[in-house]
A and B are shown apart, each in its own frame.
Chain A
Amino acid sequence: MAWTWFHRFGSPPHFYRIAGKLVPWFGTLAALACIGGLIGGLVLAPSDYLQGEGYRIIYVHVPAATLSMMAYAVMALAAATGLIWRMNVAYAVAASCAPIGASFTVIALVTGSLWGRPMWGTYWVWDPRLVTELLLLFLYLGYMGLRGAIEESGRADRASAILAIVGVVNLPIIHYSVDWWNSLHQGHTLLKFGAPSMPPSMYVPLITMILGFMLYFGAVLLVRARGEVLRRERTARWLLDVVGEV
């Protein structure tokens, strides 16, 4: 019984229908959370005693960096699900995650660089956190490149899934890099033992923005995955209902 929902979700028509219903909800809630987070972060939050107003980059940098890793974890999980249960929908979700995750990684790197210039005096430094985040971008690009290079979709799914799963090892390295090595990058702000090292007026907008980015990721992922499911379905009868008479 517990697995029924899982197997139902693996059915392309069911996934297509449910995803279509979820997209507007995710999109609306993402917009509301991001607007609230932006007002809180840009207007209501006080300036930082050390970094002044420049710290406000945090409200786009941290959510983008968080989502760059979360999207990879979702991609690897979906890829593993596809490999283990031979679920075509899971492969479609994995393939849809990659460009979105790569774009979050680009945002994280660019905004981090723009934050680094006034705080560290340089746009780039070969710091463990920055290098592992750059490696994450290469993993996304490698995943997409590998998919594009293999013509037969079944082989492309399996080969790229293995790459996605192997690349998961980079996620804890990114997260703990600031603890394991001497890093110029600041340590954990929210995910640390005890209380966050920020007052609520600063971290509430940040959490709201992270939530908004997560919902945005969900909405965009589902739109992409629906298209990918349609592209993959061969001669299924339900397609007629979706695309109309031909």
Chain B
Amino acid sequence: MLEWLSMGGNARFVWPSYGITLLVLWLNIRWARQAARAGRAEAKRRLAMRASDS
């Protein structure tokens, strides 16, 4: 197990690569959900304005 984790002495290059990739992929999901929520909130606000105008 330790031998596998050491990646033949390249652990300090291999694991940060995977860590950064997972972090960015997770952030992308988070930002996409935020964007979807923002779009929904914007649509709701616009509809409310329209309802109050009419």
**A interface residues with partner B (beta carbon < 8 Å):** 43, 47, 52-54, 56-57, 60-61, 64, 96, 99-100, 103, 106-107, 110-111, 114-115, 117-118, 216, 220, 223-224, 226-231, 233-235, 239-240, 242-244, 246
Contacts and interface: CB of A to CB of B under 8 A. Distances in A.
Given A52-B10, A54-B10, A243-B40, A60 B18 contact: yes
B43 A111 contact: no
B25 A227 contact: no
Contact of B44 (A53, A226, A243): A243
Contacts of A64: 21
Given A115-B17, A224-B36, A227-B35, A216 B25 contact: yes
B20 A54 contact: no
A228 B50 contact: no
Contacts of A230: 36, 39-40, 42-43
A169 B8 CA distance: 40
Contacts of A60: 17-18, 21
Closest 8 CB pairs of A and B: A227-B39, A53-B8, A227-B36, A54-B10, A230-B39, A231-B39, A53-B7, A223-B32
Contacts of A43: 4
B39 A234 contact: no
Contact of B48 (A47, A111, A114, A246): A246
B40 to A, nearest CB: 6
A243 B44 CA distance: 6
B46 A234 contact: yes
Interface string B17-38: 1101100110111011101111
A227 B40 CA distance: 6
